[in-house]
Structure 1
């Protein structure tokens, strides 16, 4: 009984001490009922412990925002906290002040998050501060959830550190590497007469740069030694050969160098922020390329605002993983022999006999001899491809139930003709191993497997236009064509 009473006494005593401690914090830093009636700007200005931050706030130009009725969350470093890191910042530079102060002001109201889940709060610098495990980007508050009339503020004994995004970080710390020289080469502004070349091409931005700069998604980025970068670049370059000369002023984004560098640079980016123990042999880049990293090759790890950057000696890529297969979907044509057969053209969603959903195209009863549907295989590397097709026919409700033949033709830029169809007679090797100008696609009832059609060679990087043509006035059915590169 005495033991129980003693335990109750300890609990009560602890609660009293906690209450007294909270009261002391409120007395020291504010946060009581009086402060709840004042805006964030007024509260900070009235407390001597925040005078250094207040001075920076006024110089930053953000002070007026904290007087507004809109709600904010303010993370306030004490004078001692700023003094401890003052030698790391040039506070005579307005840009530095705006970056430092803006990092501590957050749009909307966020309580201290004691859970293991992460709440991402957008600050004035368009960066995300992570509220998790009772801390802000790993900085624990001295006091939290203090109320103002226009939001909350939390007091910290260590300022938040404004982090660079991956793009700016690698350009700052690793600018002397061949890899980052390649990154920088895409960001140029030049003029040629009346032509202005913009800072970066849309393709470069969409496929690479955006993944290095976006703040609402985490990525892991790898920077390799020069030897590794140049070896991988030399390996890829022949597969991205184009007819455009280097230094071409009309199409600077269509050269062999442009496409080869862009393709390689995509493969140094992995989705998600990976810890060191997650760097396995099964890494997959944003371009879908598998690669591996020996942990002994890791040199450093640097935190970025939108992920993490690893400086490594080398990454291991297999060419068979870098030069990928291409698929052309039947339900995505780009044109037809003539446009008046829409009522005979069906875009179908069906379920095969194995229960799998698929989409295809069927052109039926069109009554046009050698009717064709036009397609385009995009991003084809300089390589020889084996071509496979899938077309399922004879399921319930399908008007076509008998076997039929259709043909696949490929565009040849060397041919000249006034008739469109005569431009699509590129030399191929058919499914029997013979030279031909077309591939025969034999469609059998209820065949759910792929049909091997033959081989076609792409001698320049880029698009490969093609036709799927009916045999006489017969039907056309296509789920997809699949192009598999032959890598020696």
Structure 2
């Protein structure tokens, strides 16, 4: 079952001086308090005295005196008394977090008939207004007006939730999976200088999704034995030449890449119910996997989704080591830079009607002219390589069959000329050992052409050239690298 999240722009009513349009006219409330601001309402009522005291301690009181419009969820005195057993209100940071969770930017009314509206509070978290409730809490009174906003009275305080990142570190700190997460955020000191292992790639690929508040995710924490098995399965495919424990490039070791890649596979977009876990899931990295029947141990709600503690996940290597594509329109360099007038980046439609983009270099008059590309994040593995290049469509200056070549960088070679470095051994389309692929381009051929096999010996980039035959043309839509998993 899918949850439908409807994002509604908060309603903001603006009146000029002397405008007779009152808040109560919009929300049907004729409370005399509507002439008071939110701070005055909270501080003047004995029913809210406990929250008023916390409001003063939090430093947010001045905000509720201002003319900007807010929505406040006011816990009753009984609700605050109950909350004191869970929170240390002698700690200013705790008070500020607690109070800020109940104050929402802009105006949000509550409606029993609407689906979920996510309202951002002062703590940059989101309170869900769902069919008349706030994070599942039903109000005692609702849609009450003040001169600078709305307030709702609740008999149970909202419970600030940790995001997924904080929750798993708190609840499952002893697991190997969380220890792996924490290893990306540690620091070490060398020669009186502090170095951080945290990598921007780790943050963008994994941690940001665990901490982002305006979207929902489902996260899985697995048993130690299962985590070790998954890590050991992936480790050979991320082999680098950097030694483990390297203090200056900790983000370049085999362990770093294998852990980072594996940890992406535990995050799924959406706030999934337990009944939805029986279907095939797709992680944020595009990996398909399943949760084995009976694997769920517990469920934990987070501010940005849900965390499931499970025994294991069922994921096949063929779904983890993925194909790579290099697009012709994304070159990183050329043999020489004075042929821009002969280089065309084209948006075309093939004879079947499909749109595509490619590069064509024509009439350059340079023998063995080449374009440089880079296949990125290539695993240690053998790949079958396919290419697509379409020529002979209306307006194309090239109408005759031609040949071009694909060369790969051999990092072991040393040569004065750049082109001589690109002689990596490959297996060509005929099954023979060679130092290049022959890429024949036929008129109006929309199919991929099988070029051969290339082996990546360490995790990372695979630089390559697409080279003309003599002074002939170059046309390329893409090269596709398909991993051979055995």
The TM-score, its normalising length taken from structure 2, stands at 0.93
2:382 alignment partner, one of 374, 381, 384: 384
Deviates more, 1:169-178 or 1:286-295: 286-295
Q: Which shows bigger deviation, 42-51 or 182-191?
A: 182-191
Distance 1:294 1:144 in 2: 44
1:402-448 CA-partner distances (Å, limit 9, x unpaired): 11000000001100011100111000001111110000001011111
CA deviation profile, 1:230-281 (whole Å, cap 9, x unmatched): 0000000000000001111221100000000000000000011111111134
The structure 1 residue matched to 2:423, chosen from 413, 416, 425, is: 425
Structure 2 residue 324 is matched with structure 1 residue 318? no
Aligned partners of 1:270 and 1:286 also within 8 Å: yes
Is the Cα contact below 8 Å between 1:281 and 1:291 reproduced in 2? Answer: no
What is the match of residue 480 of structure 1? 478
**Partner residue of 1:443?**
441
In the alignment, what sits opposite 1:459?
457
Q: How far apart are the structure 2 equivalents of 1:91 and 1:57?
A: 11
Query: 1:186-197 residue pairs with structure 2 within 5 A?
Result: 186-193=184-191, 196-197=194-195
Q: Which runs of 4+ in 1 moved over 6 A?
A: none
- Structure (1 or 2) with the larger CA radius of gyration: 1
Once the two structures are superposed, the pairs formed by residues 114-193 of structure 1 within 5 Å of their partners are 114-193=112-191
Residue 179 of structure 1 deviates from its aligned partner by: 0.2
Cα drift, residue 115 of structure 1: 3.1
Q: 3-state SS of the aligned residue for 1:259?
A: helix
Q: For 1:285 and 1:92, locate their aligned partners in 2 and report how far apart those are by CA, in whole Å.
A: 42
Q: What's the Cα RMSD here? A: 1.3
Determine the structure 1 residue equivalent to 2:287: 289
Q: 1:342 to 1:194 in 2, by over 3 A?
A: farther
Measure the CA separation in 1 of the matches of 2:373 and 2:250: 27
> The residue matched to 1:205 in structure 2 has which SS?
helix
- Matching of residues 228-267 of structure 1 within 5 Å: 228-267=226-265
* TM-aligned CA deviation for residue 32 of structure 1: 4.4
CA contact (8 A) 2:287 2:320 kept: yes
Q: How many residues align?
A: 459
Q: Tell me, in whole angstroms, the C-alpha distance in 2 between the residues paired with 1:341 and 1:203.
A: 35
Q: Which SS does the other structure have where 2:118 is aligned?
A: strand
Alignment of 1:37-116 (within 5 A): 37-116=35-114
Q: 1:295 to 1:86 in 2, by over 3 A?
A: farther
Change (3 A) 1:190 1:328: same
Matched residue of 1:182: which SS?
Answer: helix
User: 2:98, 2:435 → 1: CA distance?
Assistant: 66
Structure 1: runs of 5 or more not aligned: 1-25
Cα shift at 1:196: 4.0
The secondary structure found in structure 2 opposite 1:405 is strand
What residue number does 2:17 align with? none
Give unmatched runs, 5+ long, in structure 2: 1-23
TM-score, normalised to structure 1, is 0.92
User: How far did residue 359 of structure 1 move?
Assistant: 0.5
SS of alignment partner, residue 63 of structure 1? coil
- Once residues 136 and 58 of structure 2 are traced to their aligned partners in structure 1, the CA distance between those partners, rounded to angstroms, is 25
Aligned to 1:8: none
- TM-superposed CA distance for 1:195, in Å, is 5.5
